[in-house]
Amino acid sequence: MLDLVTFGEILWDVIDGEAHIGGAPFNLAAHAARCGLRAAAVSCVGDDPLGRAALAEMARLRVDRRWTTVDRDHPTGTVTVTLAGGQPSYTIHENAAWDFIQPSEAALQALAAERPHAFCFGTLAQRSELSRQSLFRLLELFTFREVFYDVNLRQAFWSGPLVEAGLARATLVKVNADEARVLGGLLFEGACAPEPFARAVLARHPVRAVIVTLGGDGCLVCERDREAVRCAGVKVEVVDAVGAGDAFSAAFLAAWLQGATAAEAAEAGNRRGAWVASQRGAVPAEA
């Protein structure tokens, strides 16, 4: 049985001319495996050297690749990452293999047999109609204990209705403070601060908890019918924040699925996210 399945992009982040394996769903799955979960990724890579390298990295990092297909017509995804003070900005190249995620019927049956506990998705992989249709088919076909939506707004590859559709299907939602501000203004009549945003999501959608990450200041966790909890950050010298949020998500989910409280899970997330931010690359080598 699988503990966790992610859906979406597997790609290579090109930072200062050096390629690092990445993509938020892949990063989350890789860190989840390091946290002791049995993790798989539903994705697609190209039939090219980067695609073969990505599959090798999945095997090395113990991410089940049975649901990651190879597309002979489109290249493996790449992102050009520019760092300023350790904080990334992204140029995400289009028409990549992960824009064409389409699991076969046999693959879907095999996934159902694994009875995964948690399903994780974001917004970026929904920029293509084909991948978006595949995502929502999975959400309709299966019942998961937890559906974790890590919003991840990137460039112009999102819209208010797209985000609302994800919120409507999630049990757990994660955003960063910038995303809360943007979405609060767009969707929730100016509920732009972390806690008002989280409360607005809980009021409108069947979500159990909303996590707003605050960078070095930690995070805010809001659960339905409970007081909000602020969890202090772990101070580190930031080298490269790429993937830190995905590491947070993995550690949060690993603790949460094992029965931790939301605050305990958030503290675990803060520790792993801070460690990744202090290293180079989204999935750095463990010490």
In what helix (H) or strand (E) does residue 245 lie, and over which residues does it extend? helix 244-257
According to the model, what pLDDT value does residue 133 have? Answer: 97
According to the model, what pLDDT value does residue 287 have? Answer: 67
Q: DSSP string spanning 102-161? A: ---HHHHHHHHHH--SEEEE-SGGGGSHHHHHHHHHHHHH---SEEEEE----TT---HH
Query: Left if phi > 0, otherwise alpha if psi is -120 to 50, otherwise beta: which for 150?
Result: beta
Q: Which position has the token pair 């979500």? A: 207
Task: Give 150: exposed, middle or buried? Use CB within 10 Å, 0-12, 13-18, 19+.
Answer: buried
**What does CATH list as the number for 4-277?**
3.40.1190.20
According to the model, what pLDDT value does residue 15 have? Answer: 81
Other CB atoms within a 10 A radius of the CB of residue 229 amount to: 18
CA distance 58 to 9: 13
Has residue 160 got a pLDDT over 80? yes
Q: What are the pLDDT digits (tens) for 199-224?
A: 999 999 999 999 999 989 999 999 99
What residues pair up with 84 in beta bridges, in sequence order? 87
Tell me if residue 231 falls in helix, strand or coil. Answer: strand
Write down the domain spans for the chain: 4-277
Higher pLDDT, 261 or 88: 261
Task: Give 118: exposed, middle or buried? Use CB within 10 Å, 0-12, 13-18, 19+.
Answer: buried
- 118: closest CA among 170, 70, 76? 170
The least confident of 78-82, 221-225, 266-270 is 78-82
Mean per-residue pLDDT, 109-132? 97
